[in-house]
Chain A
Amino acid sequence: MILPYSGAAKGRDQMIDAAIASFRALNPYAAGPMEQFEVLPIVPLTLGNIDVSFTNSSLWMVIGVGLIIAFFFAATSKRALIPGRLQSAAEILHEFVANLVRDTIGHDGKKFFPYVFTLFIFILVANYIGLIPSIPGSAHQFHVFTTTSHIIVTFALALLTIAIVVVYGFAKNGLKFLRLFAPSGLPLWLMPILVPIEVISFLSRPISLGVRLFANMLAGHIILKLFAMFVIMLLGAPAAFKALSIFPFLGSVAIFFLELLVAALQAYVFAILTCIYLSDAAHAADH
């Protein structure tokens, strides 16, 4: 187990260490709120001189994608005229994303449908996997890991979306794509003010898109962990306080339900913003 606090050793830090030590004595699997985000190698790998080790993050990406593939494989194996439960679920997902793409992008959206669908299902499953409790006693690198709680992952997905927007925008509209930054019907004297604003807002899109998902996952998991820590601390306190542990416990249950909502909502938000940005690229020349 990796102990992120082991370096601290003076005064107040000692007190913290002591608290954590007593905390660990109560529950050997209890950890600080940040340990759940640590990336730990399982199988060390290098590609050239780049470290591409198979980590716990990779493990849960593979599990997530594996679950998605298994689900769709089972759901589409029969292709019945009257769908079964699995096929219905797959069809509802298909229709949901197809409607989203059609309503936001319009006719041009068809070619982006597989991308938006993959993005949506990938994020949705990653978010939900993160809410599954770990097996007690399992090694740290096999704890359940939320791949979307890492900014590099969400930012990469956001950057991929924006890259598609830019490439498709120029390919479809040519230089007219730049009209995105200069809406028509605007008085000329406003241009020097508005164009930089539009440029900045465009450039901030990948950041806001990536940070939104990352921050939601990070905050939700930290809060869950903190509530759980309070439960354990109160249980370790004198008898009078043991009963109080019900409150953080109920709190963690409530937060868990909230997180169930947030997990789906953030996947949806990511998908719909991707659609809106792609729609801008598709219709830039009409601005």
Chain B
Amino acid sequence: MLTSIALFAAETAEAAEKAGLPQLNATSWPSQLFWLALTFGVLYFLMSTYFLPRIGAALEERRDRIADDLDKAAEGRRLAEETEAAYNRSLGEARARANVIAAETRDEVGAEIAGLQKEAEARLAEKSDAAEARISAMRASAATKVRDAATDTTRAIVEALIKESPVDAVVSAAVAKATGKV
């Protein structure tokens, strides 16, 4: 069966060959050429004058638009970078100014504190001087009173011992001699 099929195929091909290629039948050539020229011509005309320019224009338009948008984006970026630089610059300036102000304030406050301290110290010194003076005055008066008491006592003792009232100067001298210099 298979061989007969193969045979049949071979026979068919042979028969086809015998019948000739329809392509080589020249009677249909004028008609084919005529309609080829007509259809191809119409297609060429429409393509070259209408369709292709339209597609080309659309592509061109898009290319221009993209280039435009890219330009705009680059411009925007440049602006953003400029703004950032300006911001950084002003930030630096502000920081420097803040440092100056801080230093100035620190100095002022320091000076004020020093002034107040000096004043307070002066007041304290004055007070302690006065107190010292009062203390030494009190000490002196106390010593005088002790000496007077000693003189009186000495006199009283002497009167009691010898029934004689000694001269003040002598008593004082004796007291002084006994107590040492005051």
Contact = CB atoms under 8 A, between A and B. Distances in A.
**Do A and B come together as binding partners?**
yes
Interface of A: 4-5, 7-8, 12-13, 15-16, 19-20, 32-34, 37-39, 41, 45, 47, 50-55, 57-58, 61-62, 64-65, 68-69, 72-73, 75-76, 79-81, 83, 87, 90-91, 94-95, 113-115, 117-118, 121-122, 147, 149-153, 156-157, 214, 218, 226, 229-230, 233-234, 237-238, 241
B3 interface: no
B135 to A, nearest CB: 105
A12 B14 CA distance: 11
Given A16-B15, A37-B22, A57 B58 contact: no
Q: Tell me if A's interface is mostly helix, strand, loop or mixed.
A: helix
A237 B24 CA distance: 35
B52 interface: yes
B8 interface: yes
A19 to B, nearest CB: 5
Given A34-B21, A61-B36, A50 B30 contact: yes
Contacts of A38: 22
B52 A233 contact: no
Interface of B: 1-2, 5, 8-9, 11-16, 18-19, 21-25, 27-37, 39-40, 42-44, 46-48, 50-52, 54-59, 61-62, 65
Given A83-B58, A230-B5, 20 more contacts: A4-B15, A34-B19, A34-B21, A34-B22, A39-B28, A47-B34, A51-B31, A52-B30, A52-B34, A55-B32, A61-B35, A75-B55, A76-B50, A79-B58, A81-B62, A113-B52, A115-B44, A150-B32, A152-B28, A152-B32
Given A39-B28, A91-B59, A149 B23 contact: yes
Nearest to B13: A33
Contacts of A61: 35-36, 39
B34 to A, nearest CB: 4
A55 B55 contact: no
B12 A19 contact: yes
Nearest to B65: A81
Contacts of A91: 55, 58-59
Contact of A122 (B40, B56, B65): B40
Contacts of B61: 81
B16 A33 contact: yes
A78 B19 CA distance: 52
A230 B24 CA distance: 26
A218 to B, nearest CB: 7
B17 to A, nearest CB: 9
B16 A114 contact: no
Contact of B16 (A4, A12, A72, A118): A4
Given A55-B32, A57-B32, A57-B35, A214 B23 contact: yes
B23 A62 contact: no
14 contacts: A19-B11, A51-B27, A51-B31, A58-B39, A64-B39, A68-B43, A76-B58, A81-B62, A94-B59, A113-B52, A117-B52, A151-B23, A233-B5, A233-B8
Which 8 residue pairs are nearest across A and B when measured between Cβ atoms? A114-B48, A58-B35, A39-B28, A4-B19, A52-B34, A37-B22, A72-B51, A61-B39
